[in-house]
């Protein structure tokens, strides 16, 4: 959990305590809306953190894909070379 989310959770706890202690429906309604806004803020923080993590992972994924493609080429070349060797050993045309 990030520092921002820790702060959100602390505020949420304070608002819940205030809600329990509130005596008027107007106070309760105001706290309810503050909690709703806090939930929206929390979602925005989580989304931003997800997007930041995805931006860090994307170049790694591209590098991994490039490595996989290179390995596939090496494996294919090795397989073709083995088939060519077998054909040559058996006097077959390649």
Long-range contact list for 35-38, CB < 8 A, 24+ apart?
38/8, 38/11, 38/12
Question: Across residues 6-31, what is the average pLDDT?
Answer: 94
Judge whether residue 1 has pLDDT over 70. Answer: no
- Residue 11: pLDDT band with limits 50, 70, 90: very high
Averaged pLDDT of the chain: 90
What are the domain boundaries of the chain? Answer: 3-89
Mean pLDDT of 7-11: 94
For the chain, the three-class secondary structure string (H helix, E strand, C coil) is: CCHHHHHHHHHHHHHHHHHHHCCCHHHHHHHHHHHHHHHHHHHHHHHHHHHHHHHHHHHHHHHHHHHHHHHHHHHHHHHHHHHHHHHHHCCCCC
Q: pLDDT tens digits for 21-59?
A: 999 999 999 999 999 999 999 999 999 999 999 999 988
Closest CA to 11 of 48, 45, 38: 38
- Whole-prediction pTM: 0.60
Q: What would the mean pLDDT of 72-83 be, rounded to a whole number? A: 86
Tell whether the model's pLDDT for residue 93 goes beyond 90. no
């Amino acid at each position: 959990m990030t520092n921002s989310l820790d702060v959100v959770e602390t505020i949420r706890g304070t608002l819940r305590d205030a809600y329990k202690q509130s005596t008027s429906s107007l106070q309760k309604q105001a706290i309810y809306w503050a909690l709703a806004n806090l939930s929206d803020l929390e979602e925005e923080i989580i989304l931003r953190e997800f997007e930041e993590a995805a931006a860090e992972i994307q170049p790694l994924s591209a590098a991994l894909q490039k490595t996989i493609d290179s390995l596939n080429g090496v494996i294919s070349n090795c397989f073709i070379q083995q088939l060519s060797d077998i054909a040559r050993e058996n006097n077959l045309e390649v």
